[in-house]
C-alpha cells in the first residue's frame, strides 16, 4: 500500500494524524434545549491504528466522530488533520475531506434504498469526476473481496444485516480513503457477525488504514485487534 | 472539461436511478405535467398555424379594399368610384369585386359566394370549397339548388372543387361567374360589392386612403395590414379564451407540482444527509436536484410538445377546433400546415422547464446547507 497524501504530507510519516485541541460542541446554542456534547476534548489519534471511543449513550462518542470526520464543526477548539488546520475550512473543502480522507460506516448503514448494491457503493466517487467505467470496476473488485459480487445488482434493502454492513464498508472504501470511521458498527449485528466485522477491520488496518470506531459493545473495545481505547463520559475523556 | 462532463454523467445516472425508485409519484407528476404542456402547446401551435395560414392567403389580396357606407352601413359601390380612384397618383389598378353571403336553410349554414377575376367556367357553373359539398345536404348530379334574391330557383352545376391547401378560407366558398352572381343576388349592373385597390408604393397606403376619403367622402378604405391585424386579434382572442379555460388546469398542476417538488419527504431529507456525509457538497446536491428537475420537466416538455404537434398538425386539433376554428355555423375541416414559432416554443420552455427545475432545487438547497452529522443520529 502506497503512503496516502494529505496535502503534501504522507499520512504514514505522521504519527498523530488527527489532533484535537480543547474541542467543545454545543447543540441548540442559546435555546432552552441547549446541550453540550463535548466539553474541551484534547486528543491525538495515531495513524495505522484501530482506535475505539467507548462510553455510554450520550457520552459524546458520535459527536466526536462527526467532528473528526468533518461532518460537523466544533463550537470551539481546533482540529488538525495530518498537521493541517481544518477547523475553519469552507464547506467545500470539508466535503472534499469527507470524500478523499474518510470512509464512513454508519450505525444504520445508511444505504440508499431502491438502489442496487453496486450503485450504492459508487456514490462517494461521483463528485470526483473519475470515469464511470473505472469507478464501476473498482466497486466490483471491492465487492468481490467482500464476497458481495453476486449481490451487486440486488437492491440493498433485500440484503441481510451482515451483507448490508459489508456493502456499507465497500462504499466507505470506494475512494480508498486513509481513515475509516465507524459509528456503532456492531449495534445491529449478532456476535458472529460482530466478530467478522472486527476481522475485516483488522485486515484494513494491515492495509494501512487508520480506523476510528465509536462503540459501547465489548466485542469491539475488548477485541484483540484494537490498539487504543478512549473512554468518554459526559463529553469528557475519562481515561 | 472531460471531468466536468463525467461528473454530469454521474449525477444524471444517479438521478435517473433515483427517479425510477419512486415510479408512482414521478409517473403521476410526469403525466400531469405532460398534459398541461400538451394543452398549452396545442393552443399555441394552433393559433400560430391558423394565423400563418390566413396571412399566407391574404398575401395575394389587394393592398386596400374600398367599401362604400350609407348611414354607417356597408353599401354597394358604383363602378364610377373605381374610375375616380384610379386617377389618384400612386394607385396601380382598381378592380371591382363581387362577393356576398348565401344562407342555405337546409344546412343552416352561411356560404361565401364570390366572383373571381378569371372564372374559367360558363354561366351557371360554380367551383366550391370542400365544406360546401360536405354540408350542403342533397347534391344530385353535381347540382346545387339555390334561391335567387326574388325567390326563383337557380340550379348551379359544380364544375370543380377548390384545392385543399387553402381550405381555411375556401371551405365555405362558392365561386361563380359575374352574370350568375348578379342573377342570384340581384346586384345591378354598374355596382360592385367593393373595390380592390393595388398600390405601387406600400408606404403610400395611408396617404392614398386619405385621398380616397377626401374625394369620395362616403367611401371606407380598409388596408390589408388592418385585415391581418383583425385576424391576429380574432385568433389571439380565441386562443386567450382557451388559455383562460385551461388556467384552472394549469393552476391545479402548479399546486400539485409545488407540493410534490417542494415537500421533501423525511426519506429524501435523510438521503441528502447521507450524500453529504459521503462527501457530496451543497453544489453536488443542487446539481443532482437540477438534473432531477430537468429530467422530469424536459421529458414532460418534449412529450407535451410532440403530442401537441401531432394533435394539431396531424389530427386537426379535435380537442379545440370548434372553439378555435369556427366561422359562423360552418366548421371548416382542414389540415394546418405544420409551422412552429420558435419564439413561442422558447417562451413555453422558459415558463415551464425552468420554474419547475428551480422549484425542485430550493427545498433541497435548504436541506443540503445543514451539517451532515444529522444522519449520524
Cβ pair B277:A98 closer than 8 A:
yes
Answer whether B277 sits within 8 Å of A104, measured CB to CB: yes
| From A106, A110, A114, residue closest to B21, measured CB to CB | A114
What is the predicted ipTM?
0.88
Whether B71 is covered by a domain: the verdict is no
In a shared domain, residues B147 and B279: no
Q: Is residue B342 part of a domain?
A: yes
Specify if B114 maps to a domain.
yes
Tens of pLDDT, residue by residue over A136-150, are: 999 999 999 888 999
Average pLDDT of span B281-288:
89
Tell me: do B277 and B349 sit in the same domain: yes
Same domain, B86 and B123: yes
Residue B333 clears pLDDT 60, i.e. is over it: no
For residues B21 and B100, membership in a common domain is answered with no
Give the count of Cβ contacts less than 8 A between chain A and B: 101
Question: Of B192, B218, B247, which one is at a domain's C-terminal end?
Answer: B192
Q: Is the pLDDT of residue A192 over 50?
A: yes
Overall domain count for chain B: 2
Burial of residue A94 (CB within 10 Å: 0-12, 13-18, 19+) is buried
Distance of alpha carbon A80 from alpha carbon A91, whole angstroms: 16
A120 vs A105: CA distance, rounded Å = 13
What are the pLDDT digits (tens) for A10-21?
A: 554 445 689 999
Query: Measured between CA atoms, how close is A116 to chain B, in angstroms?
Result: 9
Task: Over range B296-300, report the average pLDDT.
Answer: 90
Provide the pairing of β-strand B77-78 with B191-192. antiparallel
pLDDT over 70 percentage in chain B: 88
What are the pLDDT digits (tens) for B74-127?
Answer: 999 999 999 999 999 999 999 999 999 999 888 888 899 999 888 889 899 999
Is A65 within 8 Å of B284 when comparing Cβ atoms? no
Same domain, B28 and B138: no
> Both B234 and B355 in a single domain?
yes
| Within a domain: B52 | yes
Cβ <8 Å between A127 and B280:
yes
**pLDDT tens column, B46-64:** 878 877 777 777 777 788 9
Contact A98 B271 (CB under 8 A): no
What is the residue range of B174's domain? 77-192
Q: How far is A82 from chain B (nearest CA, A)?
A: 19
Locate A123 and state its grid cell: 456514490
Both B237 and B281 in one domain: the answer is yes
| CB < 8 Å to B284, chain A | 95, 126-127
The answer on B319 and B186 residing in a single domain is: no
Per-residue pLDDT of B115-143, as tens digits, reads 988 888 989 999 998 888 888 887 777 88
Same-domain pairing of B174 and B260:
no
Same-domain pairing of B179 and B266: no
Looking at residue A5, what is its pLDDT?
47
Cell numbers at B325, concatenated:
376554428
What CATH number should be reported for the domain holding residue B169?
2.40.40
Q: Are residues B164 and B33 both part of a single domain?
A: no
**Residue B67 counted as domain residue:** no
Amino acid at each position: 500500500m502506497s503512503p496516502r497524501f494529505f496535502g503534501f504530507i504522507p499520512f504514514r510519516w505522521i504519527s498523530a494524524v488527527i489532533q484535537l485541541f480543547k474541542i467543545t460542541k454545543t447543540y441548540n446554542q442559546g435555546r432552552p434545549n441547549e446541550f453540550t456534547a463535548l466539553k474541551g476534548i484534547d486528543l491525538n489519534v495515531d495513524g495505522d491504528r484501530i482506535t475505539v471511543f467507548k462510553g455510554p449513550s450520550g457520552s459524546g462518542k458520535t459527536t466526536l466522530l462527526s467532528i473528526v470526520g468533518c461532518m460537523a464543526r466544533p463550537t470551539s477548539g481546533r482540529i488538525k488533520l495530518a498537521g493541517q488546520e481544518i477547523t475553519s475550512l469552507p464547506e467545500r473543502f470539508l466535503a472534499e475531506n469527507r470524500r478523499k480522507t474518510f470512509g464512513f460506516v454508519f450505525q444504520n448503514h445508511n444505504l440508499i434504498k431502491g438502489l442496487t448494491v453496486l450503485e450504492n457503493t459508487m456514490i462517494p466517487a461521483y463528485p470526483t469526476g473519475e470515469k464511470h467505467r473505472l469507478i464501476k470496476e473498482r466497486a466490483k473488485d471491492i465487492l468481490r473481496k467482500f464476497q458481495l459480487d453476486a449481490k451487486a445488482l440486488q437492491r440493498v434493502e433485500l440484503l441481510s444485516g451482515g451483507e448490508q454492513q459489508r456493502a456499507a464498508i465497500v462504499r466507505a472504501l470506494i475512494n480508498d480513503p486513509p481513515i475509516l470511521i465507524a459509528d456503532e458498527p456492531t449495534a445491529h449485528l449478532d456476535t458472529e457477525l460482530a466478530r467478522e466485522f472486527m476481522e475485516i477491520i483488522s485486515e484494513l488496518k494491515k492495509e494501512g488504514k487508520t480506523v476510528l470506531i465509536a462503540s459501547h459493545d465489548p466485542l469491539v473495545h475488548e477485541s484483540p485487534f484494537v490498539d487504543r481505547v478512549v473512554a468518554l463520559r459526559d463529553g469528557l475523556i475519562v481515561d | 472539461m472531460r471531468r466536468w462532463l463525467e461528473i454530469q454523467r454521474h449525477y444524471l445516472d444517479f438521478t435517473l436511478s433515483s427517479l425510477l425508485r419512486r415510479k408512482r409519484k414521478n409517473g403521476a407528476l410526469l403525466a400531469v405535467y405532460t398534459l398541461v404542456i400538451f394543452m398549452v402547446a396545442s393552443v399555441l401551435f394552433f393559433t400560430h398555424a391558423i394565423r400563418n395560414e390566413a396571412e399566407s392567403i391574404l398575401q395575394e389580396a389587394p393592398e386596400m379594399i374600398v367599401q362604400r357606407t350609407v348611414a354607417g352601413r356597408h353599401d354597394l359601390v358604383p363602378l364610377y368610384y373605381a374610375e375616380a380612384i384610379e386617377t389618384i397618383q400612386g394607385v396601380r389598378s382598381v378592380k371591382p369585386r363581387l362577393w356576398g353571403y348565401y344562407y342555405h336553410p337546409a344546412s343552416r349554414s352561411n356560404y361565401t359566394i364570390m366572383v373571381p377575376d378569371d372564372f374559367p367556367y360558363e354561366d351557371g357553373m360554380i367551383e366550391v370549397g370542400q365544406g360546401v359539398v360536405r354540408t350542403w345536404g342533397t347534391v344530385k348530379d353535381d347540382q346545387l339548388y339555390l334561391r335567387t334574391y326574388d325567390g326563383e330557383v337557380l340550379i348551379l352545376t359544380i364544375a370543380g372543387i377548390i384545392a385543399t391547401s387553402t381550405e381555411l378560407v375556401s371551405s365555405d366558398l362558392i365561386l361563380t361567374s359575374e352574370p350568375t352572381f348578379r342573377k342570384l343576388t340581384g346586384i345591378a349592373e354598374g355596382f360592385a360589392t367593393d373595390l380592390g385597390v393595388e398600390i405601387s408604393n406600400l408606404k403610400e397606403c395611408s396617404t392614398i386612403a386619405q385621398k380616397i376619403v377626401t374625394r369620395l367622402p362616403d367611401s371606407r378604405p380598409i388596408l390589408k395590414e388592418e385585415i391581418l391585424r383583425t385576424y391576429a386579434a380574432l385568433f389571439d382572442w380565441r386562443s386567450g379564451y382557451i388559455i383562460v379555460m385551461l388556467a384552472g388546469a394549469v393552476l391545479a398542476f402548479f399546486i400539485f407540482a409545488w407540493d410534490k417538488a417542494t415537500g421533501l419527504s423525511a426519506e429524501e431529507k435523510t438521503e441528502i444527509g447521507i450524500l453529504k456525509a459521503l462527501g457530496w457538497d451543497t453544489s453536488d446536491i443542487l446539481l443532482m436536484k437540477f438534473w432531477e428537475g430537468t429530467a422530469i420537466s424536459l421529458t414532460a416538455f418534449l412529450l407535451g410538445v410532440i403530442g401537441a404537434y401531432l394533435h394539431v398538425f396531424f389530427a386537426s386539433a379535435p380537442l379545440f377546433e370548434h372553439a378555435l376554428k369556427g366561422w359562423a355555423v360552418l366548421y371548416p375541416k382542414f389540415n394546418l400546415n405544420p409551422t412552429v414559432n420558435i419564439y413561442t416554443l422558447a417562451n413555453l420552455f422558459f415558463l415551464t422547464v425552468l420554474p419547475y427545475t428551480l422549484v425542485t432545487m430550493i427545498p433541497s438547497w435548504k436541506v443540503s446547507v445543514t451539517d451532515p452529522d444529522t444522519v449520524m443520529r
